[in-house]
Structure formats: C-alpha cells, structure tokens
Structure 1
Amino acid sequence: MRHLPAVAAVLAAAQTAPLLQVHGRAATTGAIRSALADARAELGAGSGAVPSMDALIESARAHLENQPARLRPLFNLTGTVLHTNLGRALLAEAAIEAATEAMRHPVALEYDLDEGGRGERDDHVRELLRALTGAEDATIVNNNAAAVLLCLNTFALGRGAIVSRGELIEIGGAFRMPDIMARAGAEMREVGTTNRTHLTDYRNAIDERTGLILKVHTSNYRIQGFTAEVSARDLAAMAGAAGIPLLNDLGSGSLVDLSAYGLAREATVRQAVDEGAHLVTFSGDKLLGGPQAGFIVGSRDAIAAINQNPLKRALRVDKIRLAAIEATLRLYRDPDRLAERLPTLRFLARSQDAIAAQGARLRDPVAACLGDDFQVDVGPCHSQVGSGALPLDTLPSAALQVRAKGSQRSLEDLSAALRALPRPVIGRITDGALQFDLRCLAETDEALFLANFAGRA
C-alpha cells in the first residue's frame, strides 16, 4: 500500500486534466479518493496488484460517470396516469418550450411593459383564468394545499372555520385537512356526521366568530349508501346571506367536461364558480395537466384580501413554472385540439384497442429481450387516473404480462433490474405477473423503450 500514490500526485498527473476540465477540482478529488480506497481494499484482501496511474485515473473516471441523476426520466407503466410518486402530469410541448425560454432569457415577470414600471406576476395568467372559469378574479400559488392554507389563513385566522365531518380528508403524504386548518390558525368546527350533513348543521354552527365555511371535494374516496351532503350552491346561498365567505376546495379541478373523454362527469371549475362560492381552489398538475400549482379563483374582494396576505409571497410560483402554466392554460382556449396537445388527456382518452395493438407490437421484442426464463403475454387490465382524482373510475387498458417460468423470486429480481436501468421501467406485480400497463407509453417512445429494455441484458 506504500506504493499507492498520494491524492495530490494523481491530481497533478497529466491524464487527470480532462476530468478536472469536465467535473471540476472538488468532484475529481473525491473520485480519486474513492479510487484509492478501492485499491486499498483490494490490496488488503490480497487480490490484485498496485494499480498504475492510468488505472487509478480510469477508476476515478468511472466513479464520476457512474453516478446517474437521482431525478431522471423513467417509463411509467404502473397503470396510474397521474402517479404522485412519479411526478403526476407530463407537460405539453408548448409548456416545455415556454419554460425553456423563461430559463434562457430575462422575462417581464414583475414588469409592466406598457407602463414601464413594476407589475404583478399574477397578471400573466389572471385574464386566462378569468376567461376559463368565469370568476371575477384569480391568483396562483405553488400547489393546492398552499391555496387552501392561504385562504384559511386570510379569512379564518383566530376565527372559526366550519366543515363537514365527512369532508375532513387525508390525502397522500399524511396531508390531513384538520392539520392544515390548524396550521392556518383556523379554529375547526366540525358539523354533521361522517355520512350525513345537512344545511341546518352549518346554519346552527354560525356565530359571531365564524370566519369561513369550507367545502372539500372528497376526491380520493366516496361514501356510499345512507348519505347526505349539502351542495355548494345551497352553501353559497346560506353563506352569502350570513356575510361569510364559502371556500370550495375542488382538489383535482378540471377546466373541461371529462365525460367527453370517456370519464365520469365531474363538476368543472366554471360550474363551481357559477354555484356561487366566494373562493374555489384547484390543482394545476392533476386533471388540468400542467405543472404543480394551486389556483384560487373567486370574487374580486376575496382575491384582493388574499393577495394582501404576507404568506402569499412565501407561496408564490417562479418564472419557469409561471411560463409553463400560462402556456398550458392557453391550450384550453382550443378545446377541440386539447387531447392532441395535452399529454394527460391524451393518455386518459386512449382506447383499449389502440393500447392492445401496441402490446401486440411489443410482445415478441420484449420476450426476446427477457429470454426463456419468462413468458410474455398481452392481456386486458384497468388503468386509474391517480392523484386522488376519480377514485372509483377505471379505464379499460391492456398490459404486457410477464410471468416467471421458475420461482416468484425471479420475477421480483426482474422488477428490481428494470428499476435499475438507465431509464427505469416501473410496472407492478399483481396476480403472479409483472404487469406493464401501456396506457402511458406513447407510440413515439416504443423504439426508445425497446432499446432501453434490451439494455438489461
């Protein structure tokens, strides 16, 4: 081990210069230390000889180049279109181009080009949101949880916020509505029961300390059977008469009628505004198909109060996301071509026949990649929307179904190997098969998928 060179000697070697040029001194130094540590371990185990300078530098190069980014592209073949753990909505090309331009150049983020002075960043999307929702005014924050938090903090800080027990939801990541209400400084006042809440329950809870009435769309579950809930229209009328704002949180709000794409009919944001709520909140990266954002639309006075809240600055979006949001919203002005341009709707609208045909094209090449240890078939399956949207609705789809001819363990090893690919392939093991739902595999990505899949060999 005494014959191993010092770190400084390896750094000074002429062969190291290209690594320093590409990766910088700090990263290269760390890689050289790792290469020397590997050499010491091999010598200590009695295997191998003292490596040459070239061998050490090549080992350092491997350390530098074999560190793939943690956040890297993958194939989502789970059958969940808006998979929270896999980044939810894919952006439209128009949104990607707009975000790229915002990264490359200065933009008039808070600059009024007409007046030549300071402007408001909300102005870039305000008129679009007003036109698409019918609301008097609109504002935007970094996600829908932030939108709800900001509304509660603005109108119910130190005051009561009335909500039905049947709407005290928990969504992914241990997000619980009671916790958000507490952090916003609101005093939660539960009314009704888990399965039945009536207008009189809300009316009887109103007092001089009531700051807001909250209605929450139970987007990730349904209560069925002996149930009753108060419509947003009836709540809005009661709240208006009492001079109390109603906040209607839609969660995965949609700007279009989803029944046109074969999904269950859900109230659109425009319908929620028409029902009279003072404020309506919804997400940007779910059914809307854009980047992560939280939209707040409603009455002019209510939005003005929200924009004066100091928390608004802490929750605002940056220029890159704002550019992508504006481009996404612009697509909604042409609903006839929306599914062509918006990946979320395009995936949701794919027919089972088209997906099955894709599976038939891919079956033999995939089977050839996997070899004789596995059997590959194409079979029917059901996709889901995901991210708490339309939880009871599934979409007929088709999947590549891989079964091991040996033990179940080999199927789990295959799944792990595919997750370790340069571009991971994520499916799910169900009913004794590793299933790859093809709904979210664009036809234009088939060649890339096969080339990547073959790489496991």
Structure 2
Amino acid sequence: MQALRALPSVDALLGTDGGRGLTERHGRAAATDALRGALASLRAAIRHGEIPPADPEAAVLAAAGAQLDAAALSPLRPVLNLTGTILHTNLGRALLAEAAIEAATLAMREAVALEYDLASGARGERDDHLLRLLVELTGAEDATVVNNNAAAVLLALNTLGAGREAIVSRGELIEIGGAFRMPDIMARAGVILREVGTTNRTHERDYRAAFGPQTGLILKVHTSNYRIEGFTAEVAAPRLAALAREAGVPLLNDLGSGSLVDLARFGLRREPTVAEAVAEGADVVTFSGDKLLGGPQAGFLVGRREAIAAINRNPMKRALRLDKIRIAALEATLRLFRDPDRLTERLPTLRSLARLQPEIAAQADRLAPRAAAALARLGVTVTVCACESQVGSGALPTDTLPSAGLRLDAPGDGTAPERLATRLRGVSRPIIGRIAEGALILDLRALTDEDALIASLVEAGRP
C-alpha cells in the first residue's frame, strides 16, 4: 500500500531536527523505542482504513514526543493545596522555609562537615549540628534526632524498656496515620504493654497498682489526633514524673506534633510546648519536625543526659539517622525559632495558620472574577464562600480556623463536582480542593501564588 511505503523509517526520523531533539532530551534508546512504537501505531491505523496524516513525519515525531514527555513527567509533582488542611500528610505536610531550602540546597551541592570536627580535624557527630539549638530551645540537657517521630518513640522504648513493661493509659493507645498503632510500635520495640485505667479516666492509683518488678518505664502519649470530652480524667505529666521517680523508672512523654512556641499567640488553642514537657520532669520527650515545627520529616528526642546517651548507644540509632540534607534543613528551621516575633514571616506553616479570615476573604473576592472567566467554557459558576480550615496531620484535631474560598458549581448531576475535581487534578499544576455541599471548594488559606492558581484554572477551562 502506497500510504505505508510513504512512512519514514526510524533511522530517517532520528536524523531529522525533531528526532535529534528527542534524542537530546530523552536519550537515543528511549527516542528510538518511542518512534518505533509511534510508527507501528500509525501503520496499524492505516491498515484499518484510517486516512494517513498529510505529514507522516511530523505526526510520528509528535506522537513519540508526547509519549516520551508523559513518561518523563514525575508523579511527585507540585500541586496547589486548596483542601483547607494545612499540614496535609498526602501532600507532603509542611512547606519549608526559604532558609531551610537554601541550607538543604547548599548541602546537596557541596561537601559539608557532617561528621568532621573542623577545630580538631577528627571525626565529629552529625547530631551535634542540631544539639545546641535543641538544648537552647527546649531547656533539655541533651538531644538527638532520627527520621520521624514514630522512629523516635520506637528507639526510646527499645532503649529504656526492652523486655520490661511500659505502663500507659488505655486512653492514650492511639492510632496514627496509615493504621499505625501505638501498641504495634511498642511490640516492635520489645516492651510489654501494660495498659491502665479506662478509655476516658485514668488515675494515679491505676499507675501505682501496675508497678512491679517488671516495670521498665511510664509512657505518656499526647492524644494530638483526637479528643475525649465529658467525664474524663488523666494524670498530668508532673505527677507522672513524680510517680516514675518513685518507681525508679524513666518517664517517656510523646508529644506527637510538638511545638516550640505557644500557639495561642497565633489564635490557636494552646498546646503543651516541648520546653514545658521537659520542665515537667520527663526523662525523654519525643516530637515531630515536619508538623507544627514546620521543617522536614524528623523525630526529635530531648531530655536527661543519661537517657539520651543511652539512646545514642543503641545500635538501632544508626539505622534511623538523618542524612546531611535534612540535618541542614532542620538546623536552618530551628534557628528561626530564636526570633519568634518573625516566625509568621519566615515559616510557611505558621504563616498559613496565622492568616486572618478577612485577609483570605479579600483574596477570594479578588480571585473570583478571574476564576469565573477561566472556567466559563465549562459552565462553572464561581462564588466566594466561607469555610473552615484545619491544621492537619493529627495536630489540633478539633480546632478549625475560619477561612474563605471559591465555591465551584458545575452543571450536571450529582457526579459533576467529582468530574470537575478530576479535571482540576489533571492540569500541569494540579489543583487539589475538597467536595462539600454538592460543590468543589477551593480553600485559599494556604494559597501563596495567585497567578499559578489562575493559570491552572485557565488550562482546566480549555475545551
């Protein structure tokens, strides 16, 4: 068939400007395979009676290029988080401060003195880069760091109580994201769970009754991802510290999210700070680096010098340690907390948390006409709406923040909001909102780049 004989060969295509461009961008092997596949598809279409393109060479190059570009697109793509959840676990939690990004970039680009003491020329300790700042900010005697807070709890439990009982209130046996449960962590750490009290009420006498020869430690877990209200009772950390001393065992206080500053100054409900937990007498306090602290994923352990030294001697510590990139980003993040008055200017997490509703509403008023114009071809109606944001990642679970956003009403049946959400997720810079009250809501609390939002909406609105 003449149309098939008119098709160019793979070698001929590779020799064109377009073919050389594909080779330059994607490599010769990948370009060759893509061109071969595009030619095969075109041959099959012609054999089935389809009219061949006027310019077969351009058609094959375009098809191969589209395939290669799609394959090269990383699934780890930047998105616009308009869900109303600031620390969204599925979207990477905290956005790093510019200082942290710069520090991490430098550590990636250059050799750094990670485990090298510049003064003596001898080997140093990688955690020392964070030690001084953590001690200063928390009031602890010593500190160390691992790759996340679950690892911090695992390591502390294994070090302080392996083979012995860990006493914990039944109301504190929490489950965190991904069906990851505290009892499972305790089992993997090699401690024996000894739960006391009831779901809603635990008293000093419950802990005392559990003391015995097998007692290894007392574990207190801050229930940061849920709240029990009503007829409740718990033993405060200072009393638990006294009970632990009475029993001759350490107290491990897991704060979960953890905060280095009083969140009340940002209009949020007050949470215990790490410094307060240390001052209340815990031997070890654990908390996250990528939640309320606003840094990269990490788990901190701070507390008494002997306990932290024992943790550092645990062989598991090496398996859980951080690389130079995260250490650099964490150091830069911690330095910001030395100047709490300017945290909201420098730390994206706290900046989003501290935004006032009138400011967000004004942003919504400003963006609504542009969004409506961008989506006009789809018949979408855009209105400004009030909404409620949340912190996310298990932090302050019952607290919401008054916010504002764009309500997108799409024509059609009850599946229209989901179809619109799918369309917005399919653009170059995906928009992630939430469906509520029969519409797609774009909460603007965490939006910093208005032009990026409009560009994505314009792309979504094209036929």
Please classify the TM superposition score into its range, dividing by the shorter chain length: over 0.9
2:381 equivalent to 1:375: yes
Give the drift of 1:318: 0.8
Structure 1 counterpart of 2:38: 35
Equivalence map 1:319-334=2 (5 Å): 319-334=324-339
1: CA distance, partners of 2:280 / 2:87: 28
1: CA distance, partners of 2:36 / 2:329: 42
2:273 equivalent to 1:297: no
SS for the counterpart of 1:227 is coil
Equivalence map 1:359-374=2 (5 Å): 359-371=364-376, 373-374=379-380
1: CA distance, partners of 2:158 / 2:251: 14
184-193 or 407-416, larger mean C-alpha shift:
407-416
Aligned equivalent of 1:348, options 339, 349, 353: 353
2: CA distance, partners of 1:249 / 1:392: 19
Give the TM-score, by structure 1 length: 0.95
Equivalence map 1:49-448=2 (5 Å): 49=52, 52-67=56-71, 68-371=73-376, 373-442=379-448, 445-448=449-452
Deviation per residue, 1:4-48 (Å, 9 max, x gap)? 677667557675333222222343244234323432442354324
**One-letter code aligned to 1:454:** V
Contact 2:8-2:56 within 8 A present in 1 as well: no
SS for the counterpart of 1:383 is strand
2: CA distance, partners of 1:58 / 1:351: 48
Structure 2 counterpart of 1:20: 23
Deviation per residue, 1:371-400 (Å, 9 max, x gap)? 162221111111111000001111011111
1: CA distance, partners of 2:14 / 2:315: 51
Aligned equivalent of 1:451, options 446, 452, 455: 455
1: CA distance, partners of 2:59 / 2:384: 48
2: CA distance, partners of 1:125 / 1:315: 16
1: CA distance, partners of 2:235 / 2:33: 62
Give the drift of 1:404: 2.4
2: CA distance, partners of 1:27 / 1:314: 37
2: CA distance, partners of 1:291 / 1:191: 35
1: CA distance, partners of 2:210 / 2:133: 37
**One-letter code aligned to 2:351:** R
2: CA distance, partners of 1:377 / 1:213: 53
Deviation per residue, 1:340-395 (Å, 9 max, x gap)? 10001100000000000000000101011111622211111111110000011110
Deviation per residue, 1:409-452 (Å, 9 max, x gap)? 3332211110001000111110111111100011xx11222122
**One-letter code aligned to 2:457:** F
**One-letter code aligned to 1:257:** D
131-140 or 177-186, larger mean C-alpha shift:
177-186
2: CA distance, partners of 1:189 / 1:6: 73
* CA gap 1:131/1:37 in 2 versus in 1, 3 angstroms: farther
* CA gap 1:35/1:391 in 2 versus in 1, 3 angstroms: same
Contact 1:220-1:391 within 8 A present in 2 as well: yes
**One-letter code aligned to 1:414:** L
1: CA distance, partners of 2:168 / 2:74: 43
**One-letter code aligned to 1:363:** A
Ranges in structure 1 where 5+ consecutive residues have no aligned partner: none
**One-letter code aligned to 1:235:** L
Ranges in structure 2 where 5+ consecutive residues have no aligned partner: none
Deviation per residue, 1:310-339 (Å, 9 max, x gap)? 111111111111110000000000111011
Contact 1:34-1:63 within 8 A present in 2 as well: no
2: CA distance, partners of 1:239 / 1:41: 77
Runs of 4+ in 1 over 4 A off after TM superposition: 1-15
**One-letter code aligned to 1:58:** A
2: CA distance, partners of 1:14 / 1:453: 34
Deviation per residue, 1:226-273 (Å, 9 max, x gap)? 111111111111112222111100001000000000000111000000
**One-letter code aligned to 1:247:** L
* CA gap 1:203/1:32 in 2 versus in 1, 3 angstroms: farther
SS for the counterpart of 1:399 is strand
Deviation per residue, 1:195-254 (Å, 9 max, x gap)? 111112112212222222111011111111111111111111111222211110000100
2: CA distance, partners of 1:450 / 1:159: 58
* CA gap 1:151/1:41 in 2 versus in 1, 3 angstroms: farther
1: CA distance, partners of 2:33 / 2:245: 64
SS for the counterpart of 1:266 is coil
394-403 or 26-35, larger mean C-alpha shift:
26-35
